[in-house]
């Protein structure tokens, strides 16, 4: 049954959401119906359809009391809007319905598990948020919060765990029909840990073990965990707050962390390696699902908490999701590539091969803001080029640059001239591994973002750009001479029925 608070949100989005024309949104990245979006929630299949919920504040383009917005998709690219699923309408979630997950119950209903936040005063009279895990059950459209909420609270934490930072349950159903959840928590040393819980029915939960802890090494609080098998290994991902930079691997602020290891019921999780997930400017709180065909697919909030105040004036929606990515492992590292469904929207193929590049050039048919382009760069002979630049979203005034330096093995994203007149972080560099002297960059543009996949997904880097849509030129430039192949497709979504 829908509460007044939820009904108000549903009425609001139904009335004002349609005011936003499709052209003001990305063509294939998920955005909120209206207002603010952050983390992906409940990314999962239910009755054969992919559902994506999201942290949602419909009433403004700023973070506020968290609701859950709701989308559905058949191909991870075209999103059907459904009415808001959850609103902060109970004592135990009166300060917000924070992030969580979803799973199908054996009786065919859909279970949502989220963090209910309640505001209270601490011993010094200061406001503090207490977090507990709650459950709502529904039919893919309407959800009922259960009477036993919260289903996990301070009493279910291991020793030293803080109920002030106890959030973001990601749940899944095991092959034996039982449920598991991973939840972020702050431990006595002030940094994060990921806790594993078990349930027979999705309603009564018990603590199993701590899977891994930060020990003040990778940031502080670990938010939004996920835990899944991949190519014979076990992967634990989380989004740490307050990271310190480490070389070009991790940057300051909110980051992403992928821990790869093994898991056994006796040994627990044994971590073998740690890496960042995305090396660009805007990517946080990723969540994955297992598709019916076995693919592990990840989606994230394509935004950065430290730059959320830098947005176009009076925008009617803010926050978008990344392009969903297929995950795999190679040589102990995470490989990420755009979902293969993207290829079905490719049109107007343009190919240029063996093009020598020295000054800045453009090529016939290579321009646009909604496209999928692969650029392969190699030396022309024994002499190496010093650098290579791809400029996108370009006009006389604007450009966003992807710069490759073969001597350093680095790529730098640079959106300083992307059109946003705010002094936020606009550049990020990361390490890549050229193969046989060749560098392959797949660049996906969708009106207000670019996502770069280096060498078939060895690195991925995302950035939001707010450049006017008329800025659609693309150029290539080398310091020295480089040889280049370009394969470019427009991506057309209007030409096919949903």
Chain positions contacting ligand FRU, by CB under 6 A = 38-39, 55, 66, 98-99, 115, 167-168, 223-224, 284-285
* Closer residue to ligand FRU in complex, CB, 55/234: 55
Give every CB contact of residue 424 below 8 A, 6+ residues apart in sequence. Answer: 306, 307, 310
* Closer residue to ligand FRU in complex, CB, 285/413: 285
Please give the Cα distance from 290 to 51 (Å, whole number): 12
Give every CB contact of residue 44 below 8 A, 6+ residues apart in sequence. Answer: 50, 51, 101, 102, 103, 104, 172, 289
Active site residue 39: yes
Q: How far is the CB of 430 from ligand FRU (least distance, A)?
A: 22
* Closer residue to ligand FRU in complex, CB, 43/385: 43
Q: How far is the CB of 154 from ligand FRU (least distance, A)?
A: 17
CB contact at 8 A, 227 and 193: no
Strand stretches in 151-304, DSSP E: 162-173, 179-186, 192-199, 205-213, 222-230, 233-240, 257-264, 268-275, 284-290, 296-301
Quick one: how far is CA 438 from the chain centroid? Answer: 29
Strand partners, 213: 193
Exposed, middle or buried by CB within 10 Å (0-12, 13-18, 19+), for 380? middle
Structure tokens at 67: 């609701």
Please give the Cα distance from 407 to 154 (Å, whole number): 53
Q: How far is the CB of 356 from ligand FRU (least distance, A)?
A: 46
Q: How far is the CB of 354 from ligand FRU (least distance, A)?
A: 45
* Closer residue to ligand FRU in complex, CB, 143/404: 143
Residue nearest to ligand FRU (CB): 98
CB contact at 8 A, 11 and 84: no
Q: How far is the CB of 224 from ligand FRU (least distance, A)?
A: 6
Which one-letter DSSP state was computed for residue 331?
A: T
Q: Choose the catalytic residue: 4, 11, 39, 107.
A: 39
Please choose, from the candidates 387, 395, 414, the residue with its C-alpha nearest in 3D space to the C-alpha of residue 477.
Answer: 387
Structure tokens at 133: 């895990």
* Closer residue to ligand FRU in complex, CB, 24/129: 129
Q: How far is the CB of 71 from ligand FRU (least distance, A)?
A: 17
* Closer residue to ligand FRU in complex, CB, 225/418: 225
Could you give the residue numbers annotated as active site?
A: 39
């Amino acid at each position: 049954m829908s509460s007044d608070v939820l009904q108000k949100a549903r009425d609001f989005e139904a009335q004002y959401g349609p005011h936003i024309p499709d052209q003001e949104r990305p063509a294939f990245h998920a955005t909120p119906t209206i207002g603010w979006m952050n983390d992906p929630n409940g990314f999962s299949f239910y009755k054969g359809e992919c559902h994506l919920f999201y942290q949602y504040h419909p009433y403004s383009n700023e973070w506020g009391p968290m609701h859950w917005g709701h989308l559905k998709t058949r191909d991870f690219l075209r999103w059907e809007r459904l009415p808001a699923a959850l609103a902060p309408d109970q004592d135990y979630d009166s300060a917000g319905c924070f992030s969580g997950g979803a799973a199908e119950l054996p009786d065919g209903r859909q279970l949502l598990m989220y963090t209910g936040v309640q505001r209270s005063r601490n011993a010094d009279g200061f406001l503090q948020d207490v977090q507990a895990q709650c459950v709502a059950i529904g039919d893919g459209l309407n959800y009922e919060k259960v009477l036993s909420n919260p289903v996990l609270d301070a009493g279910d934490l291991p020793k030293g765990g803080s109920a002030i930072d106890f959030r973001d349950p990601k749940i899944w159903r095991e092959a034996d029909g039982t449920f598991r959840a991973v939840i972020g928590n702050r431990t006595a040393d002030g940094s994060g840990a990921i806790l594993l819980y078990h349930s027979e029915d999705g309603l009564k939960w018990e603590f199993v073990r701590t899977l891994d802890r930060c020990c003040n090494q990778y940031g502080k609080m670990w938010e939004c965990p996920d835990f899944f098998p991949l190519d014979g290994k076990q992967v634990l991902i989380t989004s740490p707050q307050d990271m310190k930079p480490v070389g070009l691997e991790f940057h300051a602020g909110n980051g992403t962390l992928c821990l790869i290891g093994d898991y056994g019921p006796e040994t627990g999780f044994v971590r073998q390696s740690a890496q960042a997930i995305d090396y660009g400017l805007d990517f946080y709180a990723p969540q994955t699902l297992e598709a019916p065909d076995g693919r592990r697919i990840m989606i994230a909030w394509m935004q950065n908490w430290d730059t959320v105040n830098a947005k176009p004036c009076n925008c009617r929606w803010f926050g978008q999701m990344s392009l969903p990515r297929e995950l795999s492992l190679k040589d102990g590292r995470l490989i990420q590539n755009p979902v293969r469904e993207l290829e079905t929207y490719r049109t107007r193929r343009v190919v240029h091969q063996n093009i020598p590049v020295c000054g800045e050039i453009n090529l016939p048919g290579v321009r646009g803001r909604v496209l999928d382009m692969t650029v392969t760069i190699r030396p022309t002979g024994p002499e190496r080029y010093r650098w290579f630049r791809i400029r996108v979203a370009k006009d006389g005034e604007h450009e966003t640059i992807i710069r490759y330096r073969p001597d350093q093995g680095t790529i730098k994203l640079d959106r300083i001239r992307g059109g946003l007149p705010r002094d936020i972080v606009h550049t990020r560099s990361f390490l890549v591994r050229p193969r046989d002297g060749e560098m392959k960059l797949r660049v996906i543009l969708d009106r207000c973002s670019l996502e770069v996949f280096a060498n078939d997904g060895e690195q991925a880097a995302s950035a939001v750009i707010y450049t006017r849509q008329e800025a659609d030129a693309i150029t290539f430039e080398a310091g020295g001479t480089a040889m280049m192949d370009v394969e470019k497709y427009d991506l057309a979504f209007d030409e096919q029925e949903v």
